[in-house]
Amino acid sequence: MAQLFYGSFIYSKSLDELEYLHDAAILVDNSGKIVAVEKECGTKEKVVEKFVNQKLVPGDVKVHETVEGQFFFPGFIDTHLHASQYPNVGIFGKSTLLDWLNTYTFPLEASLADPVKARKVYGRVIRKTLSHGTTCAAYYATIDVASTNLLADLCLAAGQRALVGRVCMDQLSPAYYRDETPEAALASTRESIAYIQKIDPGMEIVRPVITPRFAPSCSAPLMKGLGKLAAEMPTLPIQTHISENKNEIALVRELFPPSSTGAKQDSYAGVYDACGLLTDRTILAHAVHLSEDEADLIASRKAKVSHCPCSNSAITSGAARVRWLLEKGVTCGLGTDMSGGYSPSVLEAARLAALVSRHVAMGGDERAKLSVEEVLYLATKGGAEVVGLEAKVGAFEAGMEWDAQLIGLGIVDSEGGVTGVSGGLEEDGNVDVFGWESWQDQVAKWVYNGDDRNTKKVWVRGRLVHERK
């Protein structure tokens, strides 16, 4: 059935500006596509009558409308997370990247070859991220083909837009969790790609993604093989990690001298570039300690960056300079990077992107600070560009698809209680609106104190995929 959404809509117009529409309407056809966006169109009755008269869509139209304290917002794009690590969120102690991988991460990932365990973990991470408004997620699974394919099945069934990557890694990890040879890794990758393309031939919801874990885990032959595969399959995205931690960077320098790959630039980015992996379809997670030359190389290749502030602070990787990347013309989005990051929420990633940018600013460059508008752009439009879906999602425009969340805030009464917007719950989340705030201030309150309780409903391609009861 077609759907008409009426009321308040907020979305990014540009990096530093939000569009606020009120008494507006968006018509979505039965395939989930936005047919019309009507601004300032008066009462709901007028809009309904107008759309009915115009007969823009065949058949009946279901009407949704916002009430006080509510607005529609584009779904969040999580441009980097490891579905397989979800049970470890919050468990990292005082570790940093390389010891964290060996202590916490590899044992858990390896254990998901058990399909019962994989179903439990993947089922949970999909529900959890949907409940936080993540309509699209770029997932790393594990090296296991069957459980990677299960993750794709579960995303498709739940209706969450997803990039699903079988992890490639043929060196340096423990023997119990490693591709045996580059050839075996490539064959397993092809197997998983073929499966995912079979279950969703149009790649409308799930897409395979070529996933070399990161350079230290991959031999040069494996990376070059994946680069060739990427060239052979030009509709597939690529995802990997770069320049997260200083010891990791030293390791890459040691493992991959330019002679080993034929790299023109002696840098981490240079290694990927030499292997055919630095493309305009490449999602690079972290990018914390890049040199000027590396960032320029990334910009020139039009590769994208997934900024993961929660992870970078939690496992003491460093503070990424997002403003600097943006000014170099590098497209950036946000990643939760579970479980280096502890939070499943892109809203929390946005909040922490703002905080980390302030820590960068404390170093002397006031301009580093990211505003509420900017972190929301990264969480939606920026993220859409990072995963190559900017024509479809990230904003509300005719021709795009309806990936959206209904946000509701709490209204404080005269005694300090709250009238919850969903079902009159007494305690309805942590965003309290007193009544005198501007819309800009309400959005800031949501960014800083909001959580999944404020995400009342979530749609992907017009399908309702989550609703708070």
Residues that bind a second copy (CB under 8 A): 86-87, 89-94, 116, 119-128, 131, 313-316, 318-319, 342-345, 352, 354-355, 358-359, 361-362, 369, 371-372, 412-418, 426-427, 430-432, 434, 436-437, 441, 444-449, 451-452, 468-469
CA distance 351 to 371: 10
DSSP H/E element including 34: strand 34-38
Q: Which is nearer to a second copy, 34 or 314 (CB)?
A: 314
Which C-beta is closer to a second copy: that of 60 or that of 413? 413
List Cβ neighbours of 98 (8 Å cut-off, separation of 6 or more). Answer: 245, 247, 248, 251
Q: Report the C-alpha gap between 454 and 406 in whole angstroms.
A: 8
Task: Provide the β-strand partners of residue 27.
Answer: 4, 36
Q: Shortest gap between Cβ of 87 and a second copy (angstroms)?
A: 5
- Helices and strands (DSSP H and E) totals, the chain: 17, 21
Q: Shortest approach of a second copy to residue 318 CB, angstroms?
A: 6
236 and 203 in contact (C-beta within 8 Å)?
no
> Measured from the CB of residue 444, what is the shortest distance to a second copy in angstroms?
5
Instruction: Find the shortest distance in angstroms from Cβ 123 to a second copy.
Output: 2
386 or 421: CB nearest a second copy: 421
CB of 315 to a second copy, least distance (A): 8
449, 410 contact by CB (below 8 A): no
**N-to-C CA span, the chain:** 23
| Pick 65 or 437: Cβ nearer a second copy | 437
Query: Given the complex with a second copy, which of 302 and 358 has the nearer CB atom?
Result: 358
Sheet-wide strand order for 304-307? 238-242, 282-286, 304-307, 332-334
User: Which lies closer to a second copy via its Cβ, residue 201 or residue 364?
Assistant: 364
Report yes or no: 262 and 309 within 8 Å, Cβ to Cβ.
Answer: no
- What would you report as the CA-atom Rg of the chain, rounded to the nearest whole angstrom? 22
Q: How far is the CB of 15 from a second copy (least distance, A)?
A: 15
The smaller minimum CB distance to a second copy, of residues 131 and 239, is found at 131
459: which strand partners?
Answer: 404, 464
Q: Are 273 and 280 in contact (CB under 8 A)?
A: no
Select 58 or 363, whichever has its Cβ closest to a second copy: 363
Q: Which is nearer to a second copy, 72 or 342 (CB)?
A: 342
Sole residue written with tokens 């990643």: 335
DSSP assignment of 190-241 equals HHHHHHHHHHSTT-SSEEE-BEE--GGGS-HHHHHHHHHHHHH-TT--EEEE
Shortest Cβ 129–a second copy spacing (Å): 11
| 61, amino acid identity | V
Cβ closer to a second copy: 174 or 417? Answer: 417
Least distance in Å: CB of 369 to a second copy?
5
CB 285 within 8 A of CB 268: no
CB of 437 to a second copy, least distance (A): 8
Least separation in angstroms between CB 441 and a second copy: 5
Rounded Cα distance between 86 and 167, Å, is 16
